[in-house]
């Protein structure tokens, strides 16, 4: 399981568990050396090569992914936009996807998918008007209270896994990943929902890869926000393009760790360039407020609330102060990283999936 994020499936720009080395923060641009510019040129060529190699492939190598990430920073996101444009399915996406979909989902869901796609494109997020069934919530919640979770951070005595006790949390976050969750029927139901996959396909611009499923408790108890639990503003970058679906499994209000974001900041805007280019990883609320006055949004809702984000936007999980929060995540991406599709993708969709 990946760490250091409010969304543990992501390799955030502030993570230390990125599968490849991440450049250290560059706090003083004047100190940039010739070798730094040499690296930029190298990244640029690898970025171009990466586009060619990944255009028709569902996989991306770590080398190209690192180049994509570095170029994203250097160009303030423009190279990521260019990649999306160049690799977009040549067919009209709406025609390609939603006509297919109309055979398997109701017309209401087709309309909802269209609505979600345009909202994500414009604002970077969408909150669904309906919630998941209480049976699904109960199955996931029961599992989370009875199985050992990965502790983040681990305890001072070295303990790495423990069953979550809501009355006496021992650390900030209790994580469950692909291996823990893939056998649960609720996870299969949510992962296979055509509505989610079709929205991911429409937004990403190609058949999406399911790169991770995650669930985690964010616990009350800290006095200060945790960087390890992604409680400072950051953006994610783990694939050329991606989309994350979240389901609150507990009621979430301003005191129980809501997702916070800056709507619209998933675009290559000027306001975020000061943080994006130097790879700032722990951005204070006051800095975000000064760059995006009045834009800060806390996403609250009852258990079962479904949302979808392009977590390229500035976002964080607010530190809970009164109630623990349980959340489930589906993580769809444009590619798998490495030489094969993620096990969770094959496990959920089988070997006969159109990507395989």
Please give the residue ranges that form the binding site for Fe ion (CB under 5 A).
5, 7, 10, 12, 230, 236
Shortest Å, Cβ 3 to Fe ion? 11
Alpha-carbon distance of 105 to 109, in angstroms, equals 6
Shortest CB 114 distance to Fe ion, Å? 26
The DSSP code for 306 is E
Q: Which one, 12 or 310, has the nearer CB to Fe ion?
A: 12
Q: For residue 98, which of 192, 188, 197, 210 has the smallest C-alpha distance?
A: 197
CA distance linking residue 336 with residue 345, whole number of Å: 9
Closer CB to Fe ion, residue 109 or residue 310?
Answer: 310
Q: How far is the CB of 323 from Fe ion (least distance, A)?
A: 21
Q: Closer CB to Fe ion, residue 10 or residue 256? A: 10
Buried b or exposed e, range 331-354, using 16+ CB within 10 angstroms: bbbbbbbeeebbebbbbbbeeeee
Taking the C-alpha atoms of residue 180 and residue 178, their distance in angstroms, rounded to an integer, is: 5
CB of 173 to Fe ion, least distance (A): 12
CB-nearer residue toward Fe ion: 110 or 204? 204
Q: Provide, rounded to whole angstroms, the least separation between the CB of residue 239 and Fe ion.
A: 13
Question: Taking each helix axis from N to C terminus, what angle separates 194-204 and 93-101, rounded to the nearest 10 degrees?
Answer: 170
Rg of the chain over CA atoms, in angstroms? 20
Q: Which is nearer to Fe ion, 5 or 144 (CB)?
A: 5
Centroid of chain to Cα 322: 25
Contact indicator for 65, 337 with CB cutoff of 8 Å? yes
The rounded distance, in Å, linking the Cα atoms of 151 and 159 is 8
CB 313, min distance to Fe ion, A: 10
Q: Give the nearer residue to Fe ion in terms of CB position, either 101 or 291.
A: 291
Q: Which is nearer to Fe ion, 230 or 299 (CB)?
A: 230
We find the least distance from the C-beta atom of residue 327 to Fe ion, in angstroms, to be: 12
Query: Closest CB to Fe ion among 58 and 312?
Result: 312
- For Fe ion, the closer of residues 141 and 244 by Cβ is 244
CB of 7 to Fe ion, least distance (A): 4
User: What is the bridge-based pairing of β-strands 59-60 and 336-337?
Assistant: parallel
Q: Give the DSSP letter string of 65-117.
A: HHHHHHHHHHTTTHHHHHHHHHHS-SS-HHHHHHHHHTTTS-HHHHHHHHHHH
The distance of closest approach from Cβ of residue 234 to Fe ion in the complex, given in angstroms and rounded to an integer, is 6
Task: Show the beta-strand stretches assigned E in the chain.
Answer: 59-60, 125-131, 148-152, 161-163, 173-176, 209-218, 242-248, 259-261, 297-299, 305-309, 315-317, 325-333, 336-337
């Amino acid at each position: 399981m990946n760490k250091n994020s409010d969304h543990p499936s992501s390799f955030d720009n502030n993570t230390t568990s990125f599968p490849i080395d991440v450049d250290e923060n560059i706090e003083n641009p004047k100190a940039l050396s010739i070798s730094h510019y040499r690296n930029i040129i190298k990244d640029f060529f690898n970025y171009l090569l990466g586009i060619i190699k990944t255009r028709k492939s569902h996989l991306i190598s770590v080398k190209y992914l690192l180049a994509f990430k570095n170029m994203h920073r250097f160009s303030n996101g423009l190279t990521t936009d260019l990649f999306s444009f160049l690799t977009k399915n040549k067919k009209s996406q709406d025609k390609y996807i939603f006509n297919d979909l109309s055979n398997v989902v109701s017309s209401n869901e087709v309309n909802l998918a269209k609505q979600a796609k345009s909202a994500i494109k414009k604002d970077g997020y969408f909150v669904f008007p309906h919630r998941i069934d209480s049976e699904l919530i109960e199955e996931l919640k029961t599992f989370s209270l009875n199985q050992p979770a990965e502790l983040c951070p681990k305890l001072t005595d070295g303990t790495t896994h423990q069953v979550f006790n809501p009355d006496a949390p021992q650390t900030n976050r209790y994580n469950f990943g692909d291996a823990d969750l893939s056998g649960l029927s609720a996870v299969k139901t949510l992962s296979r929902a055509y509505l989610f996959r079709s929205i991911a396909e429409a937004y990403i611009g190609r058949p999406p890869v399911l790169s991770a499923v995650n669930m985690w408790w964010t616990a009350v108890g800290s006095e200060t926000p945790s960087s390890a639990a992604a409680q400072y503003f950051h953006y994610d970058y783990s694939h050329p393009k991606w989309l994350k679906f979240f389901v609150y499994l507990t009621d979430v209000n301003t005191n129980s760790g809501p997702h916070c974001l800056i709507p619209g900041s998933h675009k290559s805007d000027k306001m975020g360039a000061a943080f994006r280019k130097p790879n700032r990883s722990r951005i204070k609320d006051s800095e975000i407020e000064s760059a995006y006055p009045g834009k800060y949004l806390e996403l609250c809702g009852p258990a079962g609330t479904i949302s979808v984000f392009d977590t390229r936007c500035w976002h964080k999980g607010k530190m809970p102060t009164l109630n623990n929060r349980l959340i489930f995540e589906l993580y769809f991406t444009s590619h798998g990283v490495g030489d094969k599709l993620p096990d969770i993708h094959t496990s959920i969709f089988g070997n006969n999936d159109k990507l395989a």
